[in-house]
Amino acid sequence: MSPVSQQPASRPLGPLLLRKKGFSLFGITRASLVRRFFSAMASVAIIVLVLIMVFLLRDGAGFLSTYRASLDVYRKSGMELCDLLEQPVREMQDKSTSLLRRALAHELATLTGEAKQRRDAVVVLIGKVQAMSAPERAALEVVLTASAPPETLADPRDQLRQATSRAAMSIPIPSVLSSREVEQFRRELATLTPENTELLPMLTALEAEFARQDTAARAQFAPLSAAVAACEQAPAALYETLVPLHKHARNTKELAQKRLSSRDQPEVHFPDQLKPILDARETLLTRLDDYGSRLKQAQAALPAETRSEEAAELLAQVRELLPEQAVQTAGIREKVLEWDGMHTVSMFHAALGFCFGPHWITNSPWQDFYGVVPLLTGSVLISVIALLIATPLSIAAAVYTSQFASDREKEYIKPVIEFIQAIPSIVLGFIGIALLGDLIKSVSHWPLLAWLPGFPIEERLNMFNAGCLLALMAVPTMFSLAEDALNSVPQSYAAASEALGATKLQTVFRVIVPAALSGILAGILLGLGRVIGETMVVLLVAGNRIAIPDFGDGLGVVFQPAHTLTGIIAQELGEVSRGSGHWQALFMVGILLFIISLVVNWCARAFARRLETPKS
């Protein structure tokens, strides 16, 4: 042992163990002050969160009772009964008549197809020639608007004529036109000037020819035309009966609303008000039965034979559809009979209406509905698209960066990906509108890609477009978290794996990625949280159609426009009056969003917590 100096041992030890006097405030020491300061800062965050919840709940809480009251009036005024009858009938009607009309169009086309083609060809040709001589036309127009003396007009006009006939000579002409017609066409084209915008005589003749053939064809297909008309007319009587009832019901509703806004108004006695509508119920039901039998007549009147295959197929569909609709009619009848206008609407009914209602209809002169399903499906579909795109992208990038990239590559990959986060979402919205929308649309029109579901697409602004941009926004979050998770896998796993004869790839995919899986999942979920909450991009790019997307398209559904939970709040909150039912409904949507985000974040944390003890 080395010699120890005697000095410290000679000092008494006891006093050294006592607490020293130092700075203190009301008996609180510096250390505990600092601790309290930090704990106060931490609690601010919690308090703010609680305040937000309270605030959301305060404005949203009234929603259910307001909505219940509104639905109650809707029922007791008889509006519900009208809708019960009318809406399903209109839906059935739309379906069957559109099929029949398409069938008729195909049939007519078998006879008038050529005439129509010839007319269309000429219209297209004229358009093309005009486009080709556009510069000369513009020049002439300039001179004309300058009201120059007539003699100076001769030259530009001559040039236009020459340009037009040059274009007419060079343009390829489809074979539906005979050579004589081609000559005539070229001659007539030359007469086109800015002052002379009359239809070419040739086009007029072709139009007339088409119209004549069309009429003749319609006569030929009289049975089908009659069936179409019968189907179209089937519910006319029903609708007619409903008109005065509509008026009466709306009147009742107005009275009820007046009473609601001021106590001076007389109270509405609903049973009395409802009486005329209940009295009409029998008539309505006869009309409904009448509609059913008309459908059957239309069915019987369908021609057995068709000229075109497409029409045959469509008619087969109609033949299946009409009996189904007759059954549906019976269902409607039952519902109308069961309907009890005096049965007060319950809170539960209102809550169901919000959570599962298929319609979000506001500012309607008839009745507002706050069903969240169309918005929720929009939000969910867009998020799913975004996740499907962003997940492979960001995970692949993270795996590459953390496992394979050289230090120099890392140096630019990471900042670039993280920079995406800095792009303002409104700018991404611009990109979606100005660039991506057109791009997707034009790509979808490539004949080579026609086999893809939903292609070719018509809407520039749709869920897919929004999903792509949101994917871009989610990538940085997902990438960073996945990369962190991969980097935090102990180096010893890689060494152990390679020491057992695994290749680098095997090591990465069998050991490192599985070990980082929970971190990666947490990243995906946080990305999802970000995507669900994003507003600007979806508002600008998703197309904002408030309707449940038509899943009949299969995967093509993603190319339909939709509205979202976030988008609807941003769009409508500024326009509604504070405290109204609509306002409260928007707050409810906010609460729903809040809950979704909480759940997603909670799941993410749960996954992140599993990071320490990953399972096989």
Partner 1 sequence: MPTDSPSATPHPIISVERFNYAYGDHQVLFDVDLPIRSEDVTAFIGPSGCGKSTLLRSINRINDLVDSARVVSGTIKVDGVDLYSPEVDPIALRRQIGMVFQKYNPFPRSIFENAVYGLRVAGITDKAELMDAAERSLKAAALWEEVKDRLQELATGLSGGQQQRLCIARAIALQPRILLMDEPCAALDPIATAKIEELILSLRGSYTFVIVTHNMEQAKRIADRTTFFYKGKVIETGDTLDLFTKPGNKLTEDYVTGRLV
Between 540 and 611, whose beta carbon lies closer to partner 1?
611
How far is it, in rounded angstroms, from Cα 317 to Cα 295? 14
Bridge partner list, 29: 24
Tell which residue, 241, 255, 246, has the closest CA to residue 83. 246
Between 386 and 515, whose beta carbon lies closer to partner 1?
515
Helices (H) then strands (E): counts for the chain? 23, 4
Give DSSP secondary structure letters for 327-394. HHHHHHHHHHHH--TTSPPPHHHHHHHHHH-S-EE-S-SS--EE--HHHHHHHHHHHHHHHHHHHHHH
In the complex, least distance from residue 406 CB atom to partner 1, rounded to whole angstroms: 9
Between 27 and 501, whose beta carbon lies closer to partner 1?
501
Can you tell me whether residue 24 is helix, strand or coil? strand
Instruction: Check the CA dihedral 446-450-451-454 and report its sign.
Output: positive
Between 31 and 495, whose beta carbon lies closer to partner 1?
495
Give the tokens for residue 401: 């960066």
Between 449 and 495, whose beta carbon lies closer to partner 1?
495
In the complex, least distance from residue 418 CB atom to partner 1, rounded to whole angstroms: 24
How far is it, in rounded angstroms, from Cα 515 to Cα 495? 14
Can you tell me whether residue 426 is helix, strand or coil? helix
Between 225 and 403, whose beta carbon lies closer to partner 1?
403
In the complex, least distance from residue 410 CB atom to partner 1, rounded to whole angstroms: 13
In the complex, least distance from residue 509 CB atom to partner 1, rounded to whole angstroms: 10
Contacts with partner 1, residue ranges (CB under 8 A): 490, 492-503, 506, 510-511, 514-515, 613-616
Between 507 and 564, whose beta carbon lies closer to partner 1?
507
Between 179 and 406, whose beta carbon lies closer to partner 1?
406
Can you tell me whether residue 4 is helix, strand or coil? coil
Q: 442-455: buried (b, 16+ CB within 10 Å) or exposed (e) per residue?
A: eebeeeeeeeeebb
According to DSSP, the β-strands at 28-29 and 24-25 are antiparallel
Under 8 Å between Cβ of 432 and 541: yes
Vertex 312 angle, CA 311 and 317, to 5°: 95
How far is it, in rounded angstroms, from Cα 486 to Cα 614? 13
Under 8 Å between Cβ of 537 and 423: no
Under 8 Å between Cβ of 111 and 216: yes
In the complex, least distance from residue 409 CB atom to partner 1, rounded to whole angstroms: 14
In the complex, least distance from residue 515 CB atom to partner 1, rounded to whole angstroms: 5
Between 179 and 616, whose beta carbon lies closer to partner 1?
616
In the complex, least distance from residue 496 CB atom to partner 1, rounded to whole angstroms: 5
Compute CA 235 distance to the chain's CA centroid, rounded to the nearest angstrom. Answer: 32
Between 339 and 509, whose beta carbon lies closer to partner 1?
509
Between 261 and 492, whose beta carbon lies closer to partner 1?
492
Between 325 and 403, whose beta carbon lies closer to partner 1?
403
In the complex, least distance from residue 495 CB atom to partner 1, rounded to whole angstroms: 6
Q: Which residue has the tokens 């599962």?
A: 356
In the complex, least distance from residue 401 CB atom to partner 1, rounded to whole angstroms: 16
In the complex, least distance from residue 482 CB atom to partner 1, rounded to whole angstroms: 17
How far is it, in rounded angstroms, from Cα 548 to Cα 566? 16
Tell which residue, 210, 4, 203, has the closest CA to residue 108. 210
In the complex, least distance from residue 512 CB atom to partner 1, rounded to whole angstroms: 10
Whether the bond between 358 and the residue before it is cis, its omega within 30 degrees of 0, is no
Compute CA 189 distance to the chain's CA centroid, rounded to the nearest angstrom. Answer: 46
In the complex, least distance from residue 395 CB atom to partner 1, rounded to whole angstroms: 19
DSSP state of 13: S
